[in-house]
Structure 1
């Protein structure tokens, strides 16, 4: 077994331990009868699960097209490897950390569904009562997969692959899992506060975007920070198309049913992304910049990010505002970032971090019980303060938690395995230096 040019038996030992654990702790399940299932909902959620999974290869193309040609394979592989690493973590103890018995409202008990024991037998989740619990579990896995993959754009072209794999394991355990548990578990602290996150604005995009900011600050700028030569804009277009397509399952699937709510989430997702894409190129046009494929793609993604926490809580008209406002703020932050010394290579923080934060706040402004009965308190637009206040507190608390933990995990990873590639490896490109492959 060779990693980064050096022989290592650690991966073989790890796999051996995993096999032993599987043999010792896996049990033969008694499948739940499923008399309460709605098979239209089951079919929709199976489809949504596939849609969300295709977003990660879509992200690989989206990011891969933006980097230099010598780093395309490495950048794309950083997304693909998440589908393998997180899937294993999820089955062993990850799902338990997110949806297991709550420990203080901040994390799940890792033994609740250890090795997925009890998942096939369990009655449906209360928030998804018409589909198998196992389907709910595997749908949630796809969100856990794409979140660490989103971070990769911040340190593209300058991170060692093996160190990256270690970091995403730590990120999943110590940032994603606690934040997802706090937000989506009925006993989670943010859930009990009344914070609404329909499909992952806080859990996915804020966690990835803020960790990306910490990563860019920690790794400092690359050798060619101010030289931006995208390998293939057509890859960016393809990746955007796959992301846009998959986001149907991401947002509309979070209704957990083939219902009016799923249709509403689909509509708001479509309108917010369209409004953001148009706003983005109009802003560029106001500065004399030609409408570009890159601008349209980034704008669309920002709109998709911003509507994610609000998709099943706001009206169609308000979704247009969410997309447009997010595009304006994100574009301004990108302009500021390019003048700074922060090398967030593919602007993950301005797109996902800022987009997620704007979406979280505007959910607190526009959410209404007329769209979704789970909204106990209407948003600020309707003259009520409670929900908006909860979102302000949740935003501040989540931001501090993510940034502090991200810097700690980056330092720990760097102590175990150096994060930055050498200057020579960066110069030759990560495709060759990390993987021995090239386009």
Structure 2
């Protein structure tokens, strides 16, 4: 009998389909940052609208440049001590071949890096919602640059980089429960503990000025999140990306309904703000878990997160920290819930064979999830607070109190979101026209 011949595994080849799919997903994730800007912008008072929009938009500029210069290398370069990556050939992105494939996949390195860039952009933008109304724009811009460098890039390596300690431990984070949402939520808490409360917190009404903008922003986030989540499998040759797409929709719907039911029982009304916030809570929670759970599991993850986040947003009044737009209540709590629930609901039929407690797998994965969750939470909380403290003691993080009261838009941007000087309609416009006509007739008589 002739000896058996062992054939080497065929190397991956560039897939036009997966490449096109990932470019579309990258564009969808980019859209999430303007969507976030509208979501946050509608939730603040009129006098802070532009500043809130700009706090998201500036991240598109700053993080993009840092990613090209060194961010991609730090996050996904060759591992060093399971803490950080580095690849000098990736500095400036000038030494990457156009058709060079991301190792083990069928898409170019350029496609992978631009997809991950969009994650790096939106993560610091998420923090901004906690700081509404009171932070100098220049200080915020510098904070983004420092925070991305010393917090986001290293944490992304821990969770997703080959050799990162959380990656090697087996912590499951499909699309960013730890690296994005817990990271941003913990950072938000760290910063607001340093800079303090808004003028008038718990005394003055601080209601959203435009709920239609909030709903528009939530809709754009929901739409873009399909790229955020389904794209994180870097292709769909085995159906896992499609599972994530379905679970994203399912969990978001469940969380929105759960938040509204809780709200009706607790406060007596189904609000548009509750619907938008519930949807975002579901999106956050399914982000780490969606590749590991079944659609029924996604309903459970979404519903649990919807109720927990709805309960959590009121904690700021109990404990006295001023999280302006509930970044802690939604992103930190939602991210923790979604990440830990993997340890209970992982089915072993999705992205891996890992099974959670309810599928006979015991608590092994749950403890791994705890390690990833609380390590990222603690690191981001402490380092973010230190960065905010240094900036506050050097250049000052907050605008003067008079500027905060008068409106941060005019003080920081020399603009206002809405120009009412020429506005008028209905009875007001008719009365003005009548007065003008009356004045003209009076002049004719006098003449």
Do residues 426 (structure 1) and 428 (structure 2) align?
no
Q: CA deviation at 1:35?
A: 8.2
CA distance in 2, matches of 1:368, 1:123: 35
Counterpart of 1:415 (choices 388, 393, 404) is 393
Q: How far does residue 186 in structure 1 lie from its aligned partner after superposition?
A: 1.7
Aligned counterparts of 1:357 and 1:229: Cα–Cα separation in 2? 27
Name the residue aligned to 1:98.
75
Aligned to 1:294: 273
In structure 2, C-alpha distance between the alignment counterparts of 1:118 and 1:366, rounded to whole Å:
43
- Across the aligned residues of Structure 1 and Structure 2, the Cα RMSD in angstroms comes to 1.5
Q: How far apart are 1:122 and its partner, in Å?
A: 7.2
CA distance in 2, matches of 1:124, 1:64: 39
CA shift digits 1:133-163 (9 cap, x unpaired): 1100000000000000000011110000000
| C-alpha distance in 2 between matches for 1:231 and 1:238 | 14
Query: Whole-Å Cα distance in 1 between the matches of residues 215 and 262 of structure 2?
Result: 20
Greater Cα shift, 252-261 or 416-425: 252-261
1:435 to 413, 417, 440: 413
Structure 2 match to 1:278: 257
Q: Secondary structure at the match of 2:315?
A: helix
The yes-or-no answer on 1:213 pairing with 2:189 is: yes
Which residue is 2:337 aligned to?
358
1:331 maps to 2:331: no
Provide, for residues 211-243 of structure 1, a one-character-per-residue CA deviation record: whole Å limited to 9, x for no partner. 111112111111132321212111001000100
CA contact (8 A) 1:94 1:110 kept: no
SS of alignment partner, residue 313 of structure 2: helix
Matches within 5 A, 1:37-436: 37-109=14-86, 111-120=88-97, 123-126=100-103, 129-226=105-202, 227-259=205-237, 260-373=239-352, 375=353, 377-384=354-361, 385-436=363-414
Supply the distance in 1 between the matched residues of 2:276 and 2:355 (Cα, whole angstroms): 32
Q: Tell whether the 8 Å contact from 1:318 to 1:366 is kept in structure 2 after alignment.
A: yes
Q: Secondary structure at the match of 1:368?
A: coil
1:390 to partner: Cα distance: 0.8
Instruction: Identify the residue that residue 26 of structure 1 maps to in structure 2.
Output: none
How far the C-alpha of 1:126 sits from its partner, in A, is 2.9
Deviation at 1:411, TM superposition (A): 1.5
Q: Offset at 1:117?
A: 2.9
Structure 1 CA distance for aligned equivalents of residues 92 and 264 of structure 2:
53
Contact kept, 8 Å, 1:214 with 1:403, in 2: the verdict is yes
What stretches of structure 1 of length at least 5 have no aligned partner? 1-33
Q: Residues 225 and 345 of structure 1 are in contact (CA less than 8 Å); yes or no, is this contact kept in structure 2?
A: no
State the SS of the aligned residue for 1:372: coil
CA distance in structure 2 between the aligned counterparts of 1:197 and 1:169, rounded to whole angstroms: 24
Over 4 Å off, 4+ runs: none
Deviation at 1:330, TM superposition (A): 1.1
Structure 2, gaps ≥5 residues long:
1-10, 418-447
Cα distance in 2, alignment partners of residues 40 and 109 from structure 1: 30
